[in-house]
């Protein structure tokens, strides 16, 4: 286990027991309910974050405690509005995004006759040219086409009603990159943007910290599931052994996919156990996990990893294809949260809702950057896993 195993485990259990005891008076029937991917996706909560998580948001967003609390409450509401608004928009739905400055969800539609029904859900409406279905079709055409290494990623962007293709600044004039972007523009509505750097995966060689290891690679635990934990696929192949910071045996990779996807899960045994907690590494308190309801574009999100610990930022895009040197990974979520080598596989969480596992990015936590994660619910569904929740 970790060097602080007994202390951490005791604190985690105490935190969990306090939460359960407080809940018994009002919601006893929920005590024995395990959150599956489907159940978690619909979760809501009246206590969206601990004091420590609010403190981390204040630090990274420059907010007061009241402002951080209000933002999390607005994001929780936006998750419910998003589902209702998509149903109201029907076939004209073009995507949605959260506006942090005023705490509202904007829903894109192509048919103005649906405006009243969508606004009735509490969403703001933006008229756009293309439906989400049309943009997804463009994404699929681009996904089926090999991209040169100078093309960094592509994703559906509801605000521009197009598929945004990223090109590394130092490769934008390459002939292969020019040819690819010219072809992409013919595949459908496409916007080309120059980005600072190409993404890389965030595994690292054996160094100190509070990691897990497979071979000489260090990565970070994502979220506890019943029987193990989820993490990034590029950290190890199925069957590979996993050890803790002290190199004591934990388990093995039971399933792993990379590239195309970037997810995996590891079984836990040999004296190790799972708890519904994301580690704060002493920067903030350990955080309880209560579900996996997906945060909208524009929502706040925080990340925990064994190298750079706790950092927060914003969801920038969903369903983005990231073109690593090892191959493309699909259906990723992009954030402006920083990360560093060794953070791979670590937790992305919004409020108390688990979001995904760290895949890769560019930059660092000194100068900033962008990081992608593989959404959690896809991993749970792929392997038939159940998220361990408080």
Would 210 be classed as within a structural domain? yes
Would 77 be classed as within a structural domain? no
Is 234 labeled as catalytic in the residue annotation?
A: yes
Q: What string of pLDDT tens digits covers the 390 residues of the chain?
A: 344 433 344 434 334 433 333 332 333 322 233 334 444 444 444 445 677 788 888 989 999 999 999 999 999 999 999 999 999 999 999 999 999 999 999 999 999 999 999 999 999 999 999 999 999 999 999 999 999 989 999 999 999 999 999 999 988 999 999 999 999 999 999 999 999 888 877 654 322 225 799 988 999 999 999 999 999 999 999 999 999 877 788 999 999 999 999 999 999 887 888 888 888 776 777 788 999 999 999 999 999 999 999 999 999 999 999 999 999 999 999 999 999 999 999 999 998 999 999 999 999 999 999 999 999 999 999 999 999 998
In this prediction, residue 203 carries a pLDDT of: 57
Would 125 be classed as within a structural domain? no
Please tell me whether residues 247 and 376 are part of one structural domain: yes
Please tell me whether residues 215 and 244 are part of one structural domain: yes
Give the CATH number for residue 161: 3.30.300.50
Please tell me whether residues 160 and 303 are part of one structural domain: no
Look at residues 178, 196, 214 and tell me which one is the last residue of a structural domain: 196
Please tell me whether residues 374 and 289 are part of one structural domain: yes
In this prediction, residue 8 carries a pLDDT of: 44
Please tell me whether residues 161 and 298 are part of one structural domain: no
Please tell me whether residues 326 and 350 are part of one structural domain: yes
130, 234, 309, 311: the active-site residue: 234
Please tell me whether residues 189 and 237 are part of one structural domain: no
Is 247 labeled as catalytic in the residue annotation?
A: no
Q: Domain residues for 289?
A: 201-383
Please tell me whether residues 191 and 297 are part of one structural domain: no
Look at residues 161, 196, 231 and tell me which one is the last residue of a structural domain: 196
Overall domain count for the chain:
2
Please tell me whether residues 185 and 212 are part of one structural domain: no
Please tell me whether residues 182 and 260 are part of one structural domain: no
In this prediction, residue 286 carries a pLDDT of: 79
344, 347, 350, 359: the active-site residue: 344
Please tell me whether residues 232 and 363 are part of one structural domain: yes
Please tell me whether residues 298 and 319 are part of one structural domain: yes
Is 262 labeled as catalytic in the residue annotation?
A: yes
Each residue of 292-346: pLDDT tens digit? 999 999 999 999 999 999 999 999 999 999 999 999 999 999 999 999 999 999 9
262, 286, 343, 352: the active-site residue: 262
Would 114 be classed as within a structural domain? no
Would 345 be classed as within a structural domain? yes
Would 216 be classed as within a structural domain? yes
**HEC string for the chain:** CCCCHHHHHHHHHHHHHHHHHHHHHHHHHHCCCCECHHHHHCCCCCCCCCHHHHHHHHHHHCCCHHHHHHHHHHHHHHHHHHHHHHHHHHHHEEEEEEECCCCEEEEEECCHHHHHHHHCCCCEEEECCCCHHHHHHHHHHHHCCCCCCCEEEEEEECCCCEEEEEEEHHHCCCHHHHHHHHHHHHHCCEEEEEECCCCEECCEECCCCCCEEECCEEECCCEEECCEEEECHHHCCCCCEEECCCCCEEEEEEEEECCECCEEEEECCCCCCCCCEECCECCECCEECCECCCCCCCCEEEEEECCCEEEEEEEEEEEEEEEECCEEEEEEEEECCCCCCCCCCCEEEECCEEEEEEEEEEEECCCEEEEEEEEHHHHHHHHCCCECCC
Would 62 be classed as within a structural domain? no
Look at residues 196, 230, 251 and tell me which one is the last residue of a structural domain: 196
Would 23 be classed as within a structural domain? no
């Amino acid at each position: 286990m970790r060097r602080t195993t007994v202390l951490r485990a005791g604190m985690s259990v105490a935190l969990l027991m306090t939460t359960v005891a407080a809940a018994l008076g009002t919601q006893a029937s929920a005590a024995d309910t395990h959150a599956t991917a489907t159940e978690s996706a619909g979760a809501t909560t009246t206590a969206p974050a601990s004091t420590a998580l609010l403190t981390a948001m204040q630090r990274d967003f420059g907010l007061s405690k009241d402002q951080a609390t209000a933002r999390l409450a607005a994001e929780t509401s936006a998750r419910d509005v998003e589902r209702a608004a998509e149903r109201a928009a029907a076939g004209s739905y073009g995507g949605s995004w959260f506006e942090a400055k005023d705490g509202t969800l904007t829903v894109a539609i192509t048919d103005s006759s649906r405006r009243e029904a969508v606004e009735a859900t509490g969403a703001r409406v933006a008229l756009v040219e293309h439906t989400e279905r049309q943009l997804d079709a463009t994404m699929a055409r681009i996904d089926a086409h090999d991209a040169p290494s100078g093309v960094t990623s592509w994703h559906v962007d509801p605000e521009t009603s197009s598929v945004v293709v990223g090109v590394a600044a130092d490769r934008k004039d390459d002939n292969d990159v020019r040819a690819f972007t010219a072809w992409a523009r013919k595949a459908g509505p496409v916007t080309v943007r120059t980005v600072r750097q190409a993404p890389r995966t965030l595994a690292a060689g054996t160094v100190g910290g509070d990691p897990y290891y497979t071979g000489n690679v260090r990565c970070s635990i994502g979220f506890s599931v019943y029987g193990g934990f989820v993490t990034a696929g590029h950290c190890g192949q199925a069957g590979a052994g996993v050890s803790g910071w002290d190199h004591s045996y934990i388990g093995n990779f039971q399933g792993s996919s990379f590239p195309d996807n970037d997810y995996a899960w590891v079984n836990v045994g040999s004296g190790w156990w799972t708890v519904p907690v994301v580690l704060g590494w002493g920067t903030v308190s350990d955080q309880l996990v209560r579900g996996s309801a997906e945060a909208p574009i524009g929502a706040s999100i925080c990340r925990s990893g064994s190298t750079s610990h706790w950092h927060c930022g914003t969801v920038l895009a969903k369903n983005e294809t990231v073109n690593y040197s090892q191959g493309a990974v699909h259906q990723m979520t992009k954030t402006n949260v920083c990360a560093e080598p060794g953070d791979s596989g670590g937790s992305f969480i919004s409020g108390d809702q688990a979001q995904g596992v760290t895949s890769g990015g560019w930059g660092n936590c000194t100068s900033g950057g962008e990081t992608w994660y593989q959404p959690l619910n896809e991993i749970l569904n792929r392997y038939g896993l159940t998220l361990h929740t408080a």
